[in-house]
Structure 1
């Protein structure tokens, strides 16, 4: 297949690219830099004045949209929140525009999303059938993001919305910053410790995206979280056990709010999210349990 990736040089994009190359597919990555061929990957410029990527995208089978400024890229100031929001909306609308101009439409668009679309809760369990939506900054951003993506359905394109949980990887994502206190021997429970962490190994994220590309029955939102979510206090204790460090110094919620402001919600609040749709379609997680995932990433 010929697969286009927007955001292909980011954390998830790199993992997906590695998987697709291993499986022998042709990859095109949309980039703000100049169009070029590198390591058997075609890089095509987009989101720049005068760029017309549609002129170089012929007979594309699938498009994966991972583009957008990271939620962890700086404190959530008013300016930063605007950048987070607009980067996602602009990229998604541009992808729809590109598809409008393609003579041969791709069969599927896999658009990134996030479990932040669900309200935070210590008691509720969310699946793709849940109708409660968060109204905070993150929830509103994800909701609008998904609405932009589904516009591609009018073009006859199958649209899937990958609602990512907290993605764990060795060098990027949330895990490195979570490990730091334990490396310094000051690790402990963050906040109440009762908040849910719906996590997922980055390899399973790439595999789930590929699964959505290749399974025609998948449509609409699907939660990309391991089937066994955990509470934050257990997450920390598991890290401490694997790293052979103490789990002893709690970090009060007010300290996190002082340090991170509104962004602190990413660690102080959470949702218990189940990957019901993936499991219904018989997707098998390589890392369904937290201890196995962390051992793979830390040992």
Structure 2
């Protein structure tokens, strides 16, 4: 297949590009500056989001588009300026993808648009599947709703649209896990807030395989939860992390301290939701890491 990726040089995009190439696909990465990129066999860079860029003229017939573009939600305090950037980067890039689709003479079969389980809101009591509606309105749920609404505009071109609602992605290189490691390695790990909040996690290897799975299964459309089948509460997650690292889990980080340190962004560690990947399970997706301890052992031991 010929596959376009927006955000192909990011955290997930790099891994997904590697998998697509290993599977024999040709990848076209959308970028603001193609001149400083070294093209490789099966990987080409195509400029977009510039006034003079015409990516539709540089692309061959495309089978699928993956949109991963957007400002990171976890790399800085949520000031008003940063919240605006988080929302607008997702809206603008998705709108640009839909515009690109409108200009392609041959339409792709599917748009896999990144999304997030933040859609469902926060709860310690509810269990969410792809059929669930949000339980509350907050910044993240509003961002995701607007993001998915923009992606849905692509359906007017009669292609399949999938909202890949990502859980907390576990990776040894980037993301939430790398921030959790330091206190444990300093023998100062412990519960964050109450410890009762749910963490719907997923190993990075399953993330990229689930994108590929959605690409190959035409029966998957609309919401698609990219989480493991075994979400865990934060206190249990910390105990398991401490066990894998052979470090204690005893020193709590109280909610008020995290709120003072992180502001509104503290919701990423103090609040959560229990999300199940009902569609992946019903479609017989085979997880590499369905359970937490083997996932953490794979990521952290012998590294």
Question: What band does the TM-score fall into relative to the shorter chain?
Answer: over 0.9
- Of 63, 79, 82, the match for 2:81: 79
* Deviation readout 1:193-252 (Å, 9 max, x if unpaired): 000000000110100001111111111001000000000001110110010001111000
- Structure 1 residue matching 2:5: 3-state secondary structure: strand
- Of 157, 160, 170, the match for 1:158: 160
Q: Distance in 2 between matches of 1:28 and 1:166?
A: 27
Q: How does 1:54-133 map to 2 (within 5 A)?
A: 54-132=56-134
* Deviation readout 1:252-294 (Å, 9 max, x if unpaired): 0011101110000000000000000111111111100000100
Q: Distance in 1 between matches of 2:82 and 2:6?
A: 21
Q: Distance in 1 between matches of 2:175 and 2:59?
A: 30
Q: How does 1:175-194 map to 2 (within 5 A)?
A: 175-194=177-196
Q: Distance in 2 between matches of 1:39 and 1:14?
A: 13
Q: Distance in 2 between matches of 1:183 and 1:37?
A: 37
Q: Distance in 1 between matches of 2:110 and 2:275?
A: 25
Query: Structure 1: which 5+ runs fail to align?
Result: none
Match in the other structure for 1:32: 32
- Structure 1 residue matching 2:66: 3-state secondary structure: strand
TM-score, L = length of structure 2 = 0.97
Is the Cα contact below 8 Å between 2:120 and 2:273 reproduced in 1?
yes
Once the 2 structures are TM-superposed, how far is the Cα of residue 37 of structure 1 from its aligned partner?
Answer: 5.3
Q: Distance in 1 between matches of 2:170 and 2:55?
A: 32
Q: Distance in 2 between matches of 1:232 and 1:37?
A: 41
Match in the other structure for 2:146: 144
Q: Distance in 1 between matches of 2:40 and 2:26?
A: 11
Is the Cα contact below 8 Å between 1:20 and 1:27 reproduced in 2?
yes
Aligned residues: 299
- Structure 1 residue matching 2:27: 3-state secondary structure: strand
Match in the other structure for 2:13: 13
Which sits farther off after the overlay, 126-135 or 160-169?
126-135
Query: Structure 2: which 5+ runs fail to align?
Result: none
Q: Distance in 1 between matches of 2:138 and 2:112?
A: 24
Is the Cα contact below 8 Å between 1:134 and 1:140 reproduced in 2?
no
Once the 2 structures are TM-superposed, how far is the Cα of residue 133 of structure 1 from its aligned partner?
Answer: 5.0
TM-score, L = length of structure 1 = 0.98
* Deviation readout 1:42-92 (Å, 9 max, x if unpaired): 011111221111111221000000000100121100000000000000000
Is the Cα contact below 8 Å between 2:192 and 2:234 reproduced in 1?
yes
Match in the other structure for 2:206: 204
Q: Distance in 1 between matches of 2:45 and 2:18?
A: 15
Aligned alpha-carbon RMSD (Å):
0.9
- Structure 1 residue matching 2:30: 3-state secondary structure: strand
Q: Distance in 1 between matches of 2:15 and 2:100?
A: 24
